Each structure stands twice: as structure tokens, then as C-alpha cells.
Amino acid sequence: MSEQKFLIFFMNKINFPEEAQEFFQRLYRQILEKPEYSRHMDSIIKVFMDIQSEKAFKQADFLAKDMNIHSYTMSMMVLLLSCKPLLELYHEKNISEEIYWDTVADLTYKLNECHQVHGIWGTFVRTWFPLFYQAARFALGRMQYEYAAFQLDEYSLNGFTLKKGDKVINMHIPSSGSFSKEKRMDSYRRAYEFFKKDFSGKPVPIVCSSWLLYPGYKEILPVHSNIRSFMDDFSYIQGYPSKEFTDSWRVFGKDAVKAPSDLPRDTSLKRAFAEHLEKGGTSGSGYGVLFLTSATEYPC
């Protein structure tokens, strides 16, 4: 399958909005129409897949400037066109296509975030992506996971101890819709099966550092909140308060720049955070750990 046909197939497969699909198809045709643009893009993709992402993105910015295209847009174009060689890498590493498609769906999440916040089809977090293209960060159902080293000095729970530098699995939560307990438990099951071979029968330690684990938010969220339920999945280790709610855009999108009194309150989540901020409530992130074992209960 040619790169052009794969691009069309790929964007449809990961549910890019129709307007975005047409937009990137037009952009790719513009690139193909000029041999110098096409050669430049081929070079960028090769550099990117050779684990030189910083160099590749700098080259992409040069091409974007020459074509009068926004950097966010050209960054997404590079990521889209790199998905065909990424699929080949998955085949080489004998990683299932199901995991591939769950993983690359993150492009859609970041595309929608960029459009909601900036009104641009593209991505404003391009430095987030290289590990995906090195087959070093995976989506296993609802969550994303990668190998990491434990950052704290020591932590013990139920007879199992983690020390600084120990291998752990770092977890991320993409903005991909429903955050139900059922979806979370399904992802934890998948993570245990995927990573258990690396821990020789010991529990699989999952760590997460996220604004969703900041303990101060538990008080402002409704009892039925999925975020509040998620906090209970983890054993809390410590929190990191901040002077500003730097994750405001994740809740309010383009409205995040507004004063607390002017923030929209059309959902229970927005209402809870708007009222919290208006009252001068603190913000921050939290760090937690979840030990997965074959005996772990995954209620659905």
C-alpha cells in the first residue's frame, strides 16, 4: 500500500474528524506535488524513526515555514506519515496490531486537544510522541504504559518494597473519553499480562504521576466521579501543590485562559473545578503506586 493510500486508511481507522482527514490529505498532496518537499519529508521521517526526534522536528519547522504551514500542523503530518514504518516496527518486534491501533489512537486525542485549545489541526505536544515511535510506550486498553525507574527513596506495601531506581511501569491517562471503572480494570488486566514476564512472578508495580491524583481534588469531586474512583485505585504516596492550575486546559479547553468567575460550568467536572478555583483552592499533582498480581481483583 502506498504512503498516500495508507494515510487515508490510517486516519479513517483512528477516527480523525472528517474535516481533519480532508485537511491532511490536501497537505500531503501539496507535499507530493513538489519533489523538493517530498524529498524533505522523506528525510524527516527517516531521521525521526532513527530516534533523532529533535533534529526531525527542527527540519519539519523549516518545511512548515517554507510552505506557510503552522508548526503544530506539520508536526502532526510527520507523525502521521511515520505510522507506516511504525507498523513495520511492531511486526518486527512481534507486537500485536491490536496494541498498535490502541497506541496510535493517541494521535486523534492530541489532534482534538490542539483543535479545541488552539483551533488548529495538529499537535502542540509533539515532544510527547517519540517513545511511541520507538515501541517503548504502549496503550493497553484505556491507559498507556512505559518502562521507568522508581523515583522515590523507598516505599513498601503489603510486604513488597520498591527502592529508588527499581524497574516500574509508568502509566499515563490519555484524554480519550470514558474513564469508567470497567475500562480501567480492563486496562490493568492487560498491563499485568503484558508486563508480568519482566517481574519474575513478583507484583507488577504501576506508578502514576498526574493531576488526577492530587489529593486536594478528591474533596471537590462528586462521590460518583470516575476521577475520584480512580484515585482509590492507587496507594497514595505524595502530592505536589502548585500555585497555578497548569492543567486547566485539560478541563476547560480554550476557555482555560478565562478568570475563574468566567469559566464555563456546563458539566459537573467543569463546575467543580470552576468553583474550586474561584474560592482560591490549591492545585497540583499526585504520585501513586498500584501493585498488580495474578490474584488482583479486577471487578467490572
Please state, in angstroms and rounded to a whole number, the distance separating the CA atoms of residues 172 and 106.
11
| Sequence spans of domains, the chain | 3-133, 137-292
> To which residue does cell 511504525 refer?
86
Q: Quick count: other Cβ atoms within 10 Å of Cβ 59? A: 20
The CATH-assigned architecture of domain 137-292 is 3-Layer(aba) Sandwich (3.40)
Please state, in angstroms and rounded to a whole number, the distance separating the CA atoms of residues 50 and 59.
14
Say if residue 298's pLDDT is above 60. Answer: no
Nearest to 95 by CA among 216, 195, 217, 13: 195
Q: Which three cell numbers stand for residue 277?
A: 478555583
Task: Tell me the CB-side half-sphere exposure of residue 4, using CA atoms within 13 A.
Answer: 11
Q: Are strands 160-163 and 167-172 parallel, antiparallel or unpaired?
A: unpaired
In total, the chain counts a number of residues equal to 300
> According to the model, what pLDDT value does residue 224 have?
85
Residues 208 and 150: beta-carbon distance below 8 Å: no
Q: Are strands 204-210 and 167-172 parallel, antiparallel or unpaired?
A: parallel
> According to the model, what pLDDT value does residue 296 have?
60
Section 116-143 average pLDDT: 95
Please state, in angstroms and rounded to a whole number, the distance separating the CA atoms of residues 256 and 263.
7
**Helix or strand holding residue 114 (H, E):** helix 106-118
Nearest to 76 by CA among 127, 40, 18, 122: 122
Edge-to-edge strand list for the sheet holding 283-292: 137-140, 143-149, 167-172, 204-210, 283-292, 235-242
* Least-confidence region, from 60-74, 156-170, 244-258: 244-258
Residues 75 and 122: beta-carbon distance below 8 Å: yes
At residue 299 the predicted structure's pLDDT band, cuts being 50, 70 and 90, is very low
Nearest to 181 by CA among 113, 229, 138: 229
pTM of the full structure: 0.87
pLDDT digits (tens, 9 = 90+) for 45-76: 999 999 999 999 999 999 999 999 999 999 99
Amino acid (one-letter) located at 239: G
Nearest to 204 by CA among 131, 296, 299: 296
